[in-house]
């Protein structure tokens, strides 16, 4: 029987390390806390620098009002803050930070240095906290504050072990910076990764900031929204129904200037897109919600990424109305039960075969199209139903992998991308060239699209590049050959015919013939079946003919 251990009060240093885990989860959460401190200090310029994904170094500098020398020693004490004074202050939080535990949490799991000066002081102050020792000394400093964090989680190796690679951690940090850049367009942001400037956002309007973060072409397709009643105001931008993504990464929700998780707000955002946006696609959005702080509880999550609203239904409904009003000029495709003959223009007699001879072994003879999604064909073994999208996707996938023909684009199409997307695309140019997609760098953020496979010429270039970048971001950790296959699959999926596309008999027959000619016709690149077979034996069993024959 296990021996009972007595209850003990934890040593202060161990308690501090445990508490730090609630606030400092990874480098990106550390950067988030420091950016919030800078914004609360009235900063108009914020510079972020990281090395090795933020594990070796994180430095956030601002031009805010700084910390008075008398308050500097208290800055590293837990629950020391200038933002709340009494319990009732928690009922109407107007700042981004308020708990007073961020800096103390950082000092518990890293080496911390603070350099700060206020405008009315001649000299600044430096605070160095390392392994529980704190040293305060005068130092030269510009007005504002610079916080440097080194060797994150040096004393908690278990936490460090569960972090992602430096590249991935750096990507998470970039996304955190961009969320605040969208929420605060009047503040300039700069991100430097391993000595290289990767993101710069000067002071701008909201739409200009959209162009910097999401790209100019995407920003041009955004529609402004606005709704206001009493203390509640909803404003921002949502994407044109013609623009969509395969995930919700492009959706940003900001409450009283604080980036938060979407939750039900995402559901309300997407509801007006029903019938306007294809299934499986999600709109992009930057939504700013402003409401009375007394109606918002931000003290429900350690990292303040979730909030509780006293009148949440009103806020959700306001967003729904704002988006619906903005999209009112875009037609909605209503869906009704289809009672028509499901085989399109194929005459009834095509289904009968009193005098039909089967075609040569292995070939399928197309009979018609079912609901503009499935191709119905007959073969030696019975009835074959082909998923037209999955089949075309597999044909294009194998064509791309084998390096088929290329169609030259004259003149080349110029693409302008945000910095992080430009960096991603630059790393994939060789792989894309192997697939017949030739893209040439034309400056830091500009590219020229020179060739495409013939089957992709009809697809808008931005749609192709977006699909490829989404796949590259998702599968950046794969080896080169597997990433090449994933990019080919993404390109094939984008260019393939879709469910709902009406095809001619000739097009369907060509597609079925092409499918049977590929190396692996049974499934699409994502593993879905390209066709199913209803054998003659199965048909006879369903119609109870096999039982009669056996009897």
Length of the chain: 551
Position 353 pLDDT exceeds 80: no
Higher-pLDDT residue of 176 and 10 is: 176
Q: Name, in order, each residue with C-beta under 8 angstroms of 395's C-beta and a sequence gap of 6 or more.
A: 511, 514, 515, 518
**Among candidates 22, 21, 26, which has minimal Cα distance to 169?**
26
Structure confidence at residue 467 as a pLDDT band (50, 70, 90): confident
Element (H, E) at 530: none
pLDDT in tens, 95-119: 786 666 778 888 888 999 999 999 9
Q: Name, in order, each residue with C-beta under 8 angstroms of 131's C-beta and a sequence gap of 6 or more.
A: 111, 155
Cβ(305)–Cβ(260) below 8 Å: yes
CATH code of the domain occupying 348-393+499-542: 3.30.1540.20
How high is the mean pLDDT of the chain?
Answer: 84
Distance separating alpha carbons of residues 387 and 498, to the nearest angstrom = 10
CATH 3.90.950.20 fits 12-201, yes or no: no
Which pLDDT does position 508 carry in this prediction? Answer: 94
Q: How far apart are the first and last CA of the chain?
A: 69
Cβ(291)–Cβ(233) below 8 Å: yes
Cβ(296)–Cβ(192) below 8 Å: no
Partnered with residue 264 across adjacent β-strands are none
Position 130 pLDDT exceeds 70: yes
Which range (90-99, 176-185, 217-226, 458-467) has the least confidence?
A: 90-99
Fold of the CATH domain 206-326: Ribosomal Protein S5; domain 2 (3.30.230)
Q: Are strands 407-416 and 438-441 parallel, antiparallel or unpaired?
A: unpaired
Same fold, 206-326 and 400-495: no
Q: Determine the average pLDDT of the residues in 332-354.
A: 50
Q: pTM of the predicted model, to two decimals?
A: 0.71
Which range (324-333, 435-444, 470-479) has the least confidence?
A: 470-479
Q: Determine the average pLDDT of the residues in 81-87.
A: 62
CATH architecture of 400-495: 2-Layer Sandwich (3.30)
Cβ(96)–Cβ(45) below 8 Å: no
Which pLDDT does position 1 carry in this prediction? Answer: 47
Distance separating alpha carbons of residues 179 and 181, to the nearest angstrom = 5
Position 358 pLDDT exceeds 80: no
Which pLDDT does position 319 carry in this prediction? Answer: 94
For 304-332, letters b (16+ CB in 10 Å) and e give beebebeeeeebbebbbbbbeebbeeeee
Distance separating alpha carbons of residues 545 and 551, to the nearest angstrom = 10
Per-domain residue ranges of the chain: 12-201, 206-326, 348-393+499-542, 400-495
Kindly report the number of other CB atoms within 10 A of residue 474's CB atom: 14
Query: Is residue 412 exposed (0-12), middle (13-18) or buried (19+ Cβ within 10 Å)?
Result: middle
Q: Which two tokens stand for residue 96?
A: 């981004």
pLDDT in tens, 15-51: 555 554 456 888 999 999 999 999 999 999 999 999 9
**Residue whose token pair is 């994904």:** 53
Distance separating alpha carbons of residues 371 and 351, to the nearest angstrom = 16
Could you give the 3-state DSSP secondary structure of residue 532? strand
Kindly report the backbone phi and psi dihedral angles of residue 96, in degrees, each rounded to the nearest multiple of 5, phi listed first. Answer: -75, -40
Q: Are strands 251-255 and 285-290 parallel, antiparallel or unpaired?
A: parallel
Which pLDDT does position 359 carry in this prediction? Answer: 38
> What Rg value do the Cα atoms of the chain yield, rounded?
30
Structure confidence at residue 350 as a pLDDT band (50, 70, 90): very low
Per DSSP (E only), the strands in 335-427 are 365-370, 374-379, 382-387, 407-416
Cis geometry, peptide bond prior to residue 411 (ω within 30 degrees of 0): yes
pLDDT in tens, 164-199: 888 889 989 999 999 999 999 999 999 999 999 989
Kindly report the number of other CB atoms within 10 A of residue 231's CB atom: 12
Kindly report the number of other CB atoms within 10 A of residue 94's CB atom: 12
**Among candidates 437, 459, 472, which has minimal Cα distance to 246?**
472
Q: Are strands 133-139 and 124-130 parallel, antiparallel or unpaired?
A: antiparallel
pLDDT in tens, 143-158: 999 999 999 988 888 8
Q: Which two tokens stand for residue 116?
A: 């700060």
- Which strand ranges, in their side-by-side order, compose the sheet holding 258-260? 222-229, 232-239, 285-290, 251-255, 258-260
Q: Which two tokens stand for residue 508?
A: 């369907």
């Amino acid at each position: 029987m296990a021996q009972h251990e007595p209850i003990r009060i934890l040593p202060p240093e161990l308690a501090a390390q445990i508490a730090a885990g609630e606030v400092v989860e990874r480098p990106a959460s550390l950067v988030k806390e420091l950016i919030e401190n800078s914004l609360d200090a009235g900063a108009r310029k914020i510079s972020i620098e990281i090395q090795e994904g933020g594990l070796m170094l994180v430095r956030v500098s601002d031009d805010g009002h700084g910390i008075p020398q008398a308050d500097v020693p208290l800055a590293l004490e837990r629950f020391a803050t200038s933002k709340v004074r009494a319990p009732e202050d928690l009922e109407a939080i107007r700042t981004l930070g308020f708990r007073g535990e961020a800096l103390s949490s950082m000092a518990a799991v890293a080496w911390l240095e603070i350099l700060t000066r206020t405008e009315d002081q001649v000299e600044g102050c430096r605070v160095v906290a390392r392994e529980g020792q704190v040293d305060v000394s005068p130092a030269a400093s510009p007005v504002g504050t610079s916080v440097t964090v080194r060797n994150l989680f040096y004393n908690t190796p278990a936490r460090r072990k569960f972090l992602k690679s430096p590249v991935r951690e750096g990507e998470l940090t970039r996304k955190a910076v961009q969320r605040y850049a969208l929420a605060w367009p009047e503040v300039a942001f700069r991100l430097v990764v391993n000595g290289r400037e990767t993101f710069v956002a000067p002071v701008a309007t909201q739409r200009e900031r959209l162009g910097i973060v999401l790209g100019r072409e995407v920003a041009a397709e955004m529609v402004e929204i606005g709704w206001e009643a009493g203390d509640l105001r909803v404003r921002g931008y949502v994407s044109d129904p013609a623009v969509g993504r395969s995930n919700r990464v492009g959706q940003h929700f900001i409450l009283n200037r604080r980036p938060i998780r979407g939750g039900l707000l995402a559901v309300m955002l997407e509801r007006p897109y029903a019938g306007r946006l294809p299934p499986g696609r999600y709109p992009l959005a930057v939504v700013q919600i402003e409401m009375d702080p007394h109606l918002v509880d931000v003290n429900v999550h350690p990292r303040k990424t979730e909030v509780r609203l006293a009148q949440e239904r009103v806020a959700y409904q306001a967003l729904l109305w704002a988006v619906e009003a903005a999209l009112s000029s875009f037609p909605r495709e209503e869906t009704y039960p289809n009672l028509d003959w499901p085989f399109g223009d194929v005459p009834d007699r095509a289904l009968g075969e009193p005098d039909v001879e089967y075609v040569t072994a292995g070939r399928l003879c197309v009979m018609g199209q079912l609901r503009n999604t499935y191709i119905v064909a007959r073969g030696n073994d019975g009835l074959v139903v082909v998923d037209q999208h999955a089949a075309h996707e597999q044909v294009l996938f194998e064509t791309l992998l084998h390096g088929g023909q290329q169609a030259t684009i004259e003149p080349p199409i110029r693409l302008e991308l945000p910095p992080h997307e430009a960096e991603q695309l630059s790393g994939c140019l060789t792989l894309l060239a192997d697939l017949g997609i030739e893209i040439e760098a034309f400056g830091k953020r500009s590219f020229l699209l020179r060739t495409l496979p013939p089957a992709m010429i009809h697809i808008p270039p931005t749609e192709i590049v977006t699909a490829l970048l989404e796949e590259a971001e998702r599968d950046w950790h794969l080896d080169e050959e597997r990433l090449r296959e994933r990019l080919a699959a993404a390109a094939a999926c984008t260019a393939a015919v879709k469910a709902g596309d009406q095809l001619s008999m000739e097009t369907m027959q060509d597609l079925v013939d092409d499918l049977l000619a590929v190396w692996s016709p049974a499934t699409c690149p994502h593993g879905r079946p390209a066709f199913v077979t209803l054998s003659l034996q199965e048909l006879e069993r369903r119609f109870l003919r096999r039982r009669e024959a056996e009897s």
